A and B are shown apart, each in its own frame.
Chain A
Amino acid sequence: GQQLNQSPQSMFIQEGEDVSMNCTSSSIFNTWLWYKQEPGEGPVLLIALYKAGELTSNGRLTAQFGITRKDSFLNISASIPSDVGIYFCAGRSVTGANNLFFGTGTRLTVIP
C-alpha cells in the first residue's frame, strides 16, 4: 500500500516559536490534507490542498502541496499552548479510491 513518511515524530517547542513538519509519499497524490487530533477526540481537518504547488493558509497555519505531488509541509507560526496535539498528514491517491492514507503523526508539545 501507500507509504507516507511524516517527520518529525515529536517536537517540544517554546511558546511563540514556529513549527514545521512534513510528509513524503512513495507515490503521487492528488489531494493532501492536514489533520489535528487532540486527546479523546478524532482528527479534525485543518487544511486541504488540491493542486500541485498550492499554498494555503488558515490563521497561523500554512501548508503547501509539493510540486512533485509526493510531498507536503505544514508550518505553524507563533505557537501557543492550544496547538498541542498530534498532527497527521493524509493524502488521497490518484488511483480513484476515496480512502485516505495517513502519516504516522507528529506529536507537538508547546512549553508555556
Chain B
Amino acid sequence: EAGVTQFPSHSVIEKGQTVTLRCDPISGHDNLYWYRRVMGKEIKFLLHFVKESKQDESGMPNNRFLAERTGGTYSTLKVQPAELEDSGVYFCASSAITRPRETQYFGPGTRLLVL
C-alpha cells in the first residue's frame, strides 16, 4: 500500500511568488492534516480536513495560505504571495480514524525556501 506522497519534494521561489503544494493521502483515509516545521522549531499544525471539509483550520498563519481538498482525495496548499518567513518543511499526514487511537501517517514533506 502506498504511503502519503507529497509534491514537490523541494521548491525554491522568490518572495511575492505563488507556490502550490500537493498531498496525496493514503487511499481511504478521510482525515488529512497539514503541518509545518520552520527551521529548528517544532512541527506545527496548520489544518485538518475530514473528507472535503475543513474540520479545524486554527493553525493557518494568515490569509496568504489556502488549503483545498476537492472531492475528499488529494489536497493542495497554496501560498500567495510567499514571504521569507514561509520557508520551512511542509508535512502532510493522513489517518483512517480519529480518537482515541488515531495514527497519523506522515508524508516526506515539501521543503520550501523563499528567497
Q: Which A positions have Cβ atoms within 8 angstroms of B? A: 4, 30-31, 35, 40-45, 48, 50, 88, 90, 92, 97-105
Contacts and interface: CB of A to CB of B under 8 A. Distances in A.
Interface in B74-115: 91, 93, 98-109
Contacts of A31: 100
Contacts, number: 61
Majority-rule SS of B interface residues: loop
Interface in B53-67: 55-56, 58-59
Interface string B20-38: 0000000000010101000
B101 A88 contact: no
23 contacts: A4-B42, A35-B106, A41-B108, A41-B109, A42-B108, A43-B106, A45-B104, A48-B103, A97-B56, A97-B58, A98-B33, A98-B48, A98-B98, A98-B99, A99-B33, A100-B35, A100-B43, A100-B45, A100-B104, A102-B43, A104-B40, A104-B42, A105-B42
Contacts of B105: 45
A69 to B, nearest CB: 14
Contact of B100 (A30, A35, A43, A105): A30
B31 A48 contact: no
Contacts of B35: 100, 102
Contacts of B43: 43, 88, 90, 100, 102
A44 B100 CA distance: 19
Contact of A102 (B42, B55, B101, B108): B42
A29 B44 CA distance: 16
B24 to A, nearest CB: 13
A49 B54 CA distance: 27
